[in-house]
């Protein structure tokens, strides 16, 4: 069952409160991209979305106020915590309201004139940047809000929960898990509007956002799986392992769904570089992948919310207890299965082979960008990139299954967190190398632009770190 319709004020507040802060970060990047490319359609869409975020402040505020009655009854929630969250939240959303009003006025005016005012663009961008400064307050207000229902974040005394897995994993997961979700919603809006208006730039931007969200889902999933051990070994008071397993089941499906959507999006971007146009059927298929993935993410998020928010649970949300907390779900069964050497060794071999494909391709492409093999144009090495993407897809499947089988050991291993961070850097940098128009024009004997060389170094260092971190895992 998908939980699109809020069942209570608390439920509505959880659904909408993440959009102002996380959504603003994505929207500012989109607006700057529209200004740099002077794309009128994209500018108008951004203005409309700025105004939409301003309007979204209303249900965020009203649902938050109405939620106070539900959470104030909790024995571990003080009025001081609620007051602090309310005060900082009110300050944080004030800038967003101003930005939304300015953007909405300009959007309405531009519909009549057919052209967006350059001075108004700067005003909206300035207000957005000022609101980005207020995002620090939004993050602080959000953290205060998390502490109301997430007792594991309330005290440093709980950072280890008495066991070997740190509660910092729970903290980081709370900070990360809304980014790919909200970002994916914005990507779907941009992409859908691009298909409707047949806007080439927005098609490319929407596809690129799908790829970035797919990269972000990897550390999000990893920190979530690590959080399970922080909350269940030993058990944290009031936390149901059954609800965690229900969340993990859908989280794994979300991971694979995002991987498929991101890979399909990247392949179409890669083919565009060589064909000069997009395949309409492929674009529509990616849209179908994205809609299905978003539906799965919605269910995943709801199940995750129920872990620490009993106020949003309904009669239909049965909380498993006792032995059913493991036996009723299939992720614990996968853990047991993959732990068997008969299954673990083939997955590990596949994982190492994937690394070989990734690093070999990255080395060839980045060396050409850095000035080696100048006798060939960049377009020649650009054709190698699908090999690396296939290796990444292979390693997402094999790596996450192995991680699922031995989460506790991997999560508490020193090289693991840097490795996950460098995957995101490596994928994002490689996305630039595959999409850059300036780099695509580099012919035989020519040097790549300096910015491309800098990013090539970043990509090479990132994937070297990923491989090195993976090899160090058994020894540290």
Q: Look-up: residue for tokens 């602080």? A: 140
- As a whole number of angstroms, the distance between CA 194 and CA 199 comes to 5
**pLDDT the model gives residue 210:** 95
Asked whether residue 364 carries a pLDDT value surpassing 50, the answer given is yes
Contact of 135 with 94, CB cutoff 8 Å:
no
Write out the two tokens for 114: 């057919």
Per the structure block, which two tokens stand in for 264? 């399909």
Q: What is the pLDDT of residues 12-32, one digit of tens each?
A: 777 787 787 788 888 888 888
188 pLDDT exceeds 90?
yes
The predicted pLDDT at position 9 comes to: 73
54-63, 100-109, 128-137, 166-175: segment of lowest average pLDDT: 128-137
Is the predicted pLDDT of residue 403 greater than 90, yes or no?
Answer: no
What's the whole-number mean pLDDT along residues 309-325? 63
pLDDT of residue 316: 60
Average pLDDT, the chain: 81
Three-state secondary structure readout of 69-81: HHHCCCCCCCHHH
Res. 2: pLDDT tops 60: no
Residues 157-183 have a mean pLDDT of 69
The answer to whether the beta carbons of residues 44 and 110 sit under 8 Å apart is yes
Q: How confident is the model at residue 158 (pLDDT cuts 50, 70, 90)?
A: very low
Q: According to the model, what pLDDT value does residue 161 have?
A: 46
Contact (CB, 8 A) for 358 and 388? yes
Give 232's pLDDT tier (boundaries 50, 70, 90): confident
Which pTM does this prediction carry? 0.86
Report pLDDT for 67: 76
- For residue 145, name the pLDDT band (cuts at 50, 70, 90): low
Please check the confidence at residue 146 and state whether its pLDDT lies above 70: no
pLDDT on residue 370: 92
What pLDDT score was predicted for residue 346? 82
Beta bridge partners of 10: none
Of 473 and 440, the structure prediction assigns the larger pLDDT to 440
Sequence-ordered list of residues with C-beta below 8 angstroms from that of 361, at least 6 positions apart, any chain: 384, 385, 387, 388, 391
Q: How many residues does the chain have?
A: 476
**Average pLDDT score over residue span 282-308:** 88
Average pLDDT over residues 371-391: 90
HEC assignment per residue over the chain: CCCCCCCCHHHHHHHHCHHHHHHHHHHHHHHHHHHHHCCHHHHHHHHHHHHHHHHHHHHHHHHHHHHHHHHCCCCCCCHHHHHHHHHHHHHHHHHHHHHHHHHHHHHHHHHHHCCCCHHHHHHHHHHHHHHHHHHHHHHHHHHHHHHHHCHHHCCHHHCCCCCCCCCHHHHHHHHHCHHHHHHHHHHHHHHHHHHHHCCHHHHHHHHHHHHHHHHHHHHHHHHHHHHHHHHHCCECCCCCHHHHHHHHHHHHHHHHHHHHHHHHHHHHHHHHHHHCCCCHHHHHHHHHHHHHHHHHHHHHHHHHHHHHCHHHCCCCCCCCCCCHHHHCCCHHHHHHHHHCHHHHHHHHHHHHHHHHHHHHHHHHHHHHHCCCCCCCCHHHHHCCHHHHHHHHHHHHHHHHHHHHHCHHHHHCCCCHHHHHHHHHHHHHHHHHHHHCHHHHCCCCCCCCCHHHHHHHHHHHHHHHHHHHHHHHCCCC
In DSSP terms, 235 is beta-bridged to 232
Summarize pLDDT for 446-468 with one digit per residue, the tens: 999 999 999 999 999 999 999 88
* Residues 278, 272 contacting (CB under 8 angstroms): yes
The lowest-confidence range among 133-142, 185-194, 220-229, 239-248 is: 133-142
Report pLDDT for 172.
79
421, 219 contact by CB (below 8 A): yes
Share of the chain above pLDDT 70, in %: 80
Res. 224 pLDDT band, cuts 50 70 90: confident
Mean pLDDT highest for which of 15-29, 277-291, 410-424?
A: 277-291
pLDDT value, residue 320: 63
For the chain, what percent of residues have pLDDT higher than 90?
25
Please report which confidence band the pLDDT of residue 151 belongs to, taking 50, 70 and 90 as the band edges.
Answer: low
């Amino acid at each position: 069952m998908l939980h699109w319709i809020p069942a209570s004020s608390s439920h509505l507040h959880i659904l909408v409160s993440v959009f102002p802060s996380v959504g603003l970060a994505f929207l500012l990047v989109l607006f700057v991209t529209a200004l740099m490319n002077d794309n009128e359609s994209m500018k108008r869409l951004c203005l409309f979305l700025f105004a939409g975020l301003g309007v979204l402040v209303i249900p965020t505020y009203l649902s938050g106020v109405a939620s106070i009655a539900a959470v104030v009854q909790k024995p571990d929630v003080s009025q001081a915590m609620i007051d602090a969250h309310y005060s900082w939240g009110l300050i944080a959303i004030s800038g967003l309201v101003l930005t939304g009003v300015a953007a909405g006025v300009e959007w309405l005016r531009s519909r009549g004139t057919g052209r967006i005012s350059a001075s108004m663009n700067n005003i909206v961008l300035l207000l957005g940047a000022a609101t980005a400064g207020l995002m620090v307050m939004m993050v602080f207000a959000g953290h205060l809000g998390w502490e109301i229902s997430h007792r594991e974040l309330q005290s440093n005394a709980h950072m280890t929960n008495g066991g070997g897995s740190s509660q910092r994993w729970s903290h980081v997961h709370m900070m990360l898990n809304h980014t790919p979700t909200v970002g994916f919603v914005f990507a779907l809006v941009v992409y859908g509007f691009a298909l409707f208006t047949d806007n080439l730039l927005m098609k490319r931007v929407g596809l690129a956002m799908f790829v970035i969200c797919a990269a972000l889902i990897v550390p999000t999933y990893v920190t979530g799986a690590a959080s399970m051990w922080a909350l269940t070994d030993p058990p944290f008071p009031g936390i149901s392992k059954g609800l965690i397993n229900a969340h993990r089941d859908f989280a794994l499906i979300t991971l694979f769904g995002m991987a498929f959507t991101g890979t399909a999006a990247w392949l179409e971007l890669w083919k565009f570089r060589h064909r000069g146009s997009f395949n309409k059927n492929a674009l529509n298929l990616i849209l179908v992948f994205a809609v299905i993935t978003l539906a799965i993410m919605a269910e995943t998020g709801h199940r995750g919310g129920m872990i620490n928010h009993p106020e949003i649970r309904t009669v239909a949300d049965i909380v498993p207890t006792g032995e059913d907390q493991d036996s009723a779900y299939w992720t614990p069964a996968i853990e047991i299965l993959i732990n068997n050497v008969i299954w673990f060794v083939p997955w590990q071999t596949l994982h190492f082979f994937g690394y070989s494909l990734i690093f070999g391709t990255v080395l060839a492409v980045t060396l050409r960008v850095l000035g080696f093999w100048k006798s060939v144009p960049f377009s020649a090495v650009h054709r190698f990139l699908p090999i690396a993407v296939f290796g990444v897809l292979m390693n997402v499947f094999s790596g996450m299954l192995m991680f699922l089988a031995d989460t506790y050991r991997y999560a508490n291993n020193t090289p693991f967190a840097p490795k996950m961070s460098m995957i995101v850097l490596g994928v994002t940098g490689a996305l630039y190398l595959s999409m850059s128009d300036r780099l695509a024009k580099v012919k035989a004997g020519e040097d790549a632009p300096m910015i491309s060389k800098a990013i090539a170094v970043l990509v090479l260092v990132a994937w070297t770190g990923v491989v090195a971190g993976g090899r160090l895992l058994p020894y540290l």
